[in-house]
Amino acid sequence: MSAMTVNTLRKRKGTGEKITCLTVYDASFAAILDEAGVDILLVGDSLGMVVQGQDTTLPVTVEDMIYHTRLVRRGASKAFIMADMPFMSYATPQDALHNAGRLMKEGGAQMVKLEGGAWLLETVRTLTAHSIPVCAHLGLLPQSVHKLGGYLVQGRGDAAQAIFDDALAMEAAGADAIVLECVPAELAARITRAVSVPVIGIGAGRDCDAQVLVLYDMLGITPGKRPKFSHDFLQAGGDIRAAVRAYVAAVKEGGFPGAEHSF
């Protein structure tokens, strides 16, 4: 497999070939995922919870993200590397430009991901104008956990239209991909059909162009209760490499996510 690019991902959407994504935080796991054919490696600010042991993602710093992105870059040669911008690192367009530039220049990221809707449109336009690929994250926003009142499904009822409108606006502003987290499968399918950029789902049903899970969730090693939208691939796979290959195959073949992983 040749190295993944923004253009490759967009072509995958056009052909209908499913795209696979997992979070990863170090070189060793990055090499395993890369070898198994995972298309996108997301250096997630979820590292605050699963690596650092924090209660939320909020304490994660830009320096943390640069460090872990650099490690992942060393371990991967083919997969596309996307990095989260941590809480308050993109409060203004200029903050976002400075910190996204660092994630790409110092960390080796090929795309940055931002959580939020319409208030981020000018930021997305600014980053796009400076040749920084952007993934917009809509639905459940872990960095807004205190405002949302918990990790709750978003986009039910009248709230669905607002998320749909935000997705279209993000694409128009220049976003190269969209993550939908914990939204009803019907809404995710509608958005996936409406936009020309890849839609990456997590707890958003099987009709998205791509699927992402937190690596530690799909290996069944995250402490506490596993999210409804995840699945323990290690239990059936027997070892880590087999588990990752099973995840890739399940997404590509349409076996994951099932109805039991959706809302």
CATH number for the domain harbouring residue 159: 3.20.20.60
d(CA 114, CA 85): 6
User: Would you say residue 210 lies in a domain?
Assistant: yes
Q: Find the helix packing angle between 159-173 and 121-129, rounded to 10°.
A: 20
pLDDT recorded at residue 147: 82
User: Would you say residue 46 lies in a domain?
Assistant: yes
Catalytic residue among 106, 181, 186, 260: 181
Which position has the token pair 């490696």?
A: 41
d(CA 205, CA 184): 7
User: Would you say residue 58 lies in a domain?
Assistant: yes
Q: Which of 113, 157, 158 is nearest to 138 (CA)?
A: 113
pLDDT recorded at residue 121: 98
Phi, psi for 200 (deg, rounded to 5): -105, 120
Residues spanned by the domain of 156: 6-261
User: Would you say residue 157 lies in a domain?
Assistant: yes
d(CA 107, CA 74): 10
**Which positions ≥6 away from 214 have C-beta within 8 Å?**
22, 23, 44, 46, 50, 222, 230
Phi, psi for 184 (deg, rounded to 5): -55, 140
Number of domains in the chain: 1
Q: Is 115 a catalytic residue?
A: no
pLDDT recorded at residue 149: 78
Consecutive H or E run containing 160:
helix 159-173
Tell me the whole-structure pTM to 2 decimals: 0.96
The rounded average pLDDT for each run of 10 residues, N- to C-terminus, in the chain (263 residues) is 89 97 98 98 97 95 98 97 98 98 98 97 98 97 85 92 98 98 97 98 97 96 87 88 96 94 91
d(CA 28, CA 82): 17
d(CA 73, CA 76): 5
pLDDT recorded at residue 76: 97
d(CA 168, CA 234): 37
C-alpha distance across the termini of the chain, in Å = 34
User: Would you say residue 1 lies in a domain?
Assistant: no
pLDDT recorded at residue 145: 85
pLDDT recorded at residue 1: 59
d(CA 201, CA 13): 13
Q: Which of 67, 68, 64, 48 is nearest to 56 (CA)?
A: 48
User: Would you say residue 229 lies in a domain?
Assistant: yes
pLDDT recorded at residue 224: 82
**Which positions ≥6 away from 31 have C-beta within 8 Å?**
75, 76
Pair 214, 222: CB distance under 8 Å: yes
d(CA 8, CA 151): 32
d(CA 143, CA 124): 18
Cis peptide before 257 (omega within 30 of 0): yes
